[in-house]
Structures are given as structure tokens and as C-alpha cells.
Chains A and B, each alone.
Chain A
Amino acid sequence: MLLKDQVAIVTGGSRGIGRAVVEALAREGAKVAFVYKGSEQAAKDLEAHVASAGGTAKAYQGDVADPEAAKRIVAGVLADWGRVDILVNNAGVIRDGLFVRMEPDAWRTVLSTNLDGAFYFCRAVADQMVFKQRSGRIVNVSSVAAEHTNPGQTNYAASKGAVNAFTRALATEVGGRGVTVNAVAPGFIETDMSEAVRNKAGDLIKKAVPLKRLGKPEDIAGVVLFLCSPAAAYVTGQVITVDGGLSLGAAVA
């Protein structure tokens, strides 16, 4: 097992990509604390599912956009398990809409969860990883939308572009203390969040993706796991695109 006895925190962990990340880390021996906001049943199901596979996962309720939530949850994890080796900032939301009609609330909500949430959790684990342990892995889940965006996602693209810049900047600060910071930028992944887009343009997207299929949450979890594993010890400040080649922009032949 790659992560035996390590302690991980995964935000947005009860569904979609987050759930696949929780399962992947737990399968490799990590004790995983995952954060969910509203999906209590999904969180309980996941706890039970991981336990039945012989792993350890514990659900923490909280809204990542709330600065107090990160402090409370990290303190809880430290009380339970005494350290934090891995942080995966995965919680994210969309509030798509054309910019000329975008209300400040749609902007604020997306930035608060996708960007501020990552800041709060990084900040809450920083002393532990940087000073106390001098080791740690941080993985931020970004999006190809930061670089290859579509109309209707100014807020989302801005939040993910900021996450990429934050990832690189933080990597330069904490690298000397054994902490790596990377991001994974998924393309079109089959999750609840992308359902509306898939229903509208799923077939079109499949044709445009060189690998000729949409991504699965496990496709992202695999790369997150790599970045948390000993194999990625010398990787930091990188944004790894995982989109089946979509961003290559190849013509549909």
C-alpha cells in the first residue's frame, strides 16, 4: 500500500470526483477525513463503503466557504489521528450564466467555495505540515476551464485560474519544508456537477475528446493518488491536465 497509516483530508468528498479520491486514498492505506456540506446520506454511505473494503474514512460536515469550518475540521482530524499528510481541496461549485446577467451572488458563491475554500484549508494545515511535520502533499482540484473556457463560466474560470496561480505560488513558499503543492485540472468528467452540460452536448464532447469518452471520477482520482504517492516526490507547483486530450484542440476527423 502506497499510503499506509498516512492521514488525508479531502473536501467535497461525499460525491463525484471527491468520493473517488476518498476511495483511492483509503484503498492505499490512508485514513481519510472527508468533508461534505449537505449530502449526509451519501457521506454515511461512503463511510460504510470504505469500511466494508477494509479502509478508514470519517465524514466531517462543513461548508468550505466558512473560514471557521476548516479550523474546526483540521483540529478534529489532528485530535483523532495526530497528523495531516495529505490535503485534497476538491470541493467546488458552478453557477453558470452569461456575464451580462451575472449577479454578484453567483460570482461570490463560486469564488468563496472554489478559491477561498482552498485557502482556508491550506492555511489550517500549514503549521502542521510546514513546521511540525516538515512534510505534506497538497493537491488542488482545478479545471481545464481555467485555460480553455466556455461562455457562461466567467466566475468558474476565474476561480480555477486563481487556484492554479495559488498552487504555483504556495509551492514556492513551502517546498523547502518538504511540502508539495500541485493541481489536477479535469476535463469533462461524469459527475452530478457536469450533468447539465453532458445532457446538452455529451455526444459532441465525446467526438472532440481524442480518447473518445468522457472522464470518470476514477480517472482524476488516479492522478491525485499519484501526486500524493512517493512516486511524485519531486513534482511541485504543477497543474496536471486530465481531460482525455480535449485541450489539445484537435479537429474532429
Chain B
Amino acid sequence: MTQDEIFEKVRQQLVDALSVDEDEVTPQARLQGDLNAESIDFLDIVFRLEREFGIKIDRNELFPESIFQGDPDFVQDGKVTAKGLSELKTRMPYAELAAFEKNPEFENIGDLFTVDLIVRYVQSKLG
């Protein structure tokens, strides 16, 4: 499956899961910031991707929201530490971290979850 084909399928799943318009689902769109996804929506998206692509997505694999929760080694003074960034890279090898690394504010971590991230993730799962 080409990247474009994956994107089209991901787009359709996001349109259904989030009740958004197709043209809102651009590669750069952030799930929370732009598409107003709530926590239960992330579970819904995982469920739909599993069904659409016939893949198994382990809990905390695609959207590892709890990576840093309450861990002072990973987050200090509201910023993700070097150790935290290295953990992110291990857990989310398909994420584009370059921009985030320049200003690793913890509260911006949700911005990593873009449509493009899902597409790259699915691509890596499909091998």
C-alpha cells in the first residue's frame, strides 16, 4: 500500500471517528489542536485503524499518553528532559520530533499527534 493510499484510508477513518470534514484532515492537522479529538477519540481511532488495516495496536503504542505521567526524570519544570526525549524516540520512532526538540514544552506534547504521524505509524506496522 502506498503512502497516499494509507493516507486516504486514515482520512476516512478520522472523518468517521471525529465527525470532521474531509478537507480538515490534512497531513499536518493535529488531532487535538485542530480536529478537537478527546481522550475517548484516541481509543476510537485505534479501534478503527485496527479494523481498517488488519493490524494489532498495543495499548500505549500509537498514542503513548502516559509515557511521562508523574515521572520527574522525564519532565522537569514543564519541559521534557533529554532522557524524556530519548524515551520518546524509542517509543514513537515514527514521530517527527525535530520541531518539538527545539522547544520541548510538556504541554505541547499533544502537537506531536498529527494525521501524518498516524500514516507513518501505519506504514511502519504494515512493513
CA distance A127 to B44 in the complex (A): 9
A226 within 8 A of B: no
CB pair A176 B38 closer than 8 Å: yes
Chain B residues within an 8 Å CB radius of A131 = 43-44, 47-48
Interface size on B, residues (CB 8 A): 6
Interface 1/0s, chain B 29-72, versus A by CB < 8 A?
00000000010100110011000000000000000000000000
Interface size on A, residues (CB 8 A): 8
Q: Separation in Å of the B40 CB from the closest CB of chain A?
A: 6
Label chain B's interface by main secondary structure.
helix
Q: Separation in Å of the A107 CB from the closest CB of chain B?
A: 32
A130 within 8 A of B: yes
A172-189 residues at the B interface, CB under 8 angstroms: 173-174, 176-177
Q: Separation in Å of the A18 CB from the closest CB of chain B?
A: 30
Chain B residues within an 8 Å CB radius of A132 = 47
Chain B residues within an 8 Å CB radius of A174 = 40
CB pair A173 B47 closer than 8 Å: no
CA distance A136 to B124 in the complex (A): 35
* Cβ-closest chain B residue relative to A131: B47
Chain B residues within an 8 Å CB radius of A130 = 40, 44
CA distance A131 to B42 in the complex (A): 11
Chain A residues within an 8 Å CB radius of B47 = 127, 131-132
* Cβ-closest chain A residue relative to B47: A131
A89-138 residues at the B interface, CB under 8 angstroms: 127, 130-132
Q: Separation in Å of the A244 CB from the closest CB of chain B?
A: 39
A126-180 residues at the B interface, CB under 8 angstroms: 127, 130-132, 173-174, 176-177
Which residue, of A131, A173, A176, has the highest number of chain B Cβ atoms within 10 A? Answer: A131
- A residues in contact (CB < 8 Å) with B: 127, 130-132, 173-174, 176-177
In order of increasing CB-CB distance, the 8 nearest A-B pairs are: A131-B47, A131-B44, A173-B40, A176-B40, A177-B40, A127-B47, A131-B43, A176-B38
Q: Can you identify 14 A-B contacts, CB atoms within 8 angstroms?
A: A127-B47, A130-B40, A130-B44, A131-B43, A131-B44, A131-B47, A131-B48, A132-B47, A173-B40, A174-B40, A176-B38, A176-B40, A177-B40, A177-B44
